[in-house]
Amino acid sequence: MTVELKETERLDDLQKNGYRIIQDPGRFCFGMDAVLLSGFARAGKGDAVLDLGTGTGILPILMEAKTQAGHFTGLEIQPQSADMARRSVALNGLSDKIEIITGDIREADRLFRSASFDVITCNPPYMIGQHGLANPDLPKAIARHEILCTLDDVVRQSAALLRVGGHFYLVHRPFRLAEILAKLVEYKLEPKRMRLVYPYVDKEPNLVLLEAVRGARPRMTVEKPLVIFTEPGVYSREIREDYGY
């Protein structure tokens, strides 16, 4: 299937099942964090999966290629991003598996039935306050800063929409790890699995991948570190083999 690209858009090859994605470099393009989350998250056969703040649909499209989940829903507040996501879904022939809805994470419990999802994923804005914020109306600012939703919004809504025993997957920054874990426990999403991501083996981690289960008992596994680069421009063996880079 072919779709019409707008003037500033481009098509990128996802290196999975021949899938491609429409992106606009002037707005916001997906990064390594989304790719890592798609590999860290798990979905079983027939699962209903919700991606909060789906952007251009990168997580549902990649997870459709990697899992046997039954259906994916992507929720995105920015109409232009949601439109790109829908066109990418159609381009890849996935309209029967992935639905993109334009809406606000803060009102997700009004858009969907409570406890109606088996898996929820989220690659949320990382930054709080005004640090590095030039224009709060720009798409990149909305994607990076807690302008239109907060960590509390994401966790609260996920707790409401997950069935008991359902899994929540998050990628975030380690500097907010204590806050994230406390928030998960507050909403009875018990942290079960964590993996720190390092740009190089001798550098500090710059990402954390987390899995929580609604209503589970306390016990968390900390997985071995994931290192992205062995040297500048050279991906590690694990990144090459497991993530296709």
Per-domain residue ranges of the chain: 10-243
pLDDT-based confidence at residue 129 (cuts at 50, 70, 90): low
Distance between CA 131 and CA 194 in Å, rounded?
27
User: What mean pLDDT do residues 5-32 have?
Assistant: 91
Distance between CA 104 and CA 117 in Å, rounded?
17
Tallying the residues shown for the chain, one arrives at: 245
More confident residue, 120 or 15: 120
User: What mean pLDDT do residues 151-161 have?
Assistant: 97
Residue-averaged pLDDT of the chain: 91
Checking if the pLDDT of 82 tops 70, the result is yes
Pairing of strands 226-227, 117-122: unpaired
Question: Which token pair is 85?
Answer: 């996501």
Residues 6+ apart with CB under 8 A from 47: 67, 69, 70, 118, 119
Strands (E) across 14-161 are located at 20-23, 48-52, 71-76, 98-102, 117-122
Distance between CA 18 and CA 93 in Å, rounded?
11
CATH class of the domain whose range is 10-243 = alpha beta
Q: What is the pLDDT of residue 3?
A: 79
Q: Is 3 helix (H, G, I), strand (E, B) or coil?
A: coil
pLDDT-based confidence at residue 245 (cuts at 50, 70, 90): low
User: What mean pLDDT do residues 52-68 have?
Assistant: 96
Q: By C-alpha distance, which of 81, 85, 87, 199 is closest to 140?
A: 81
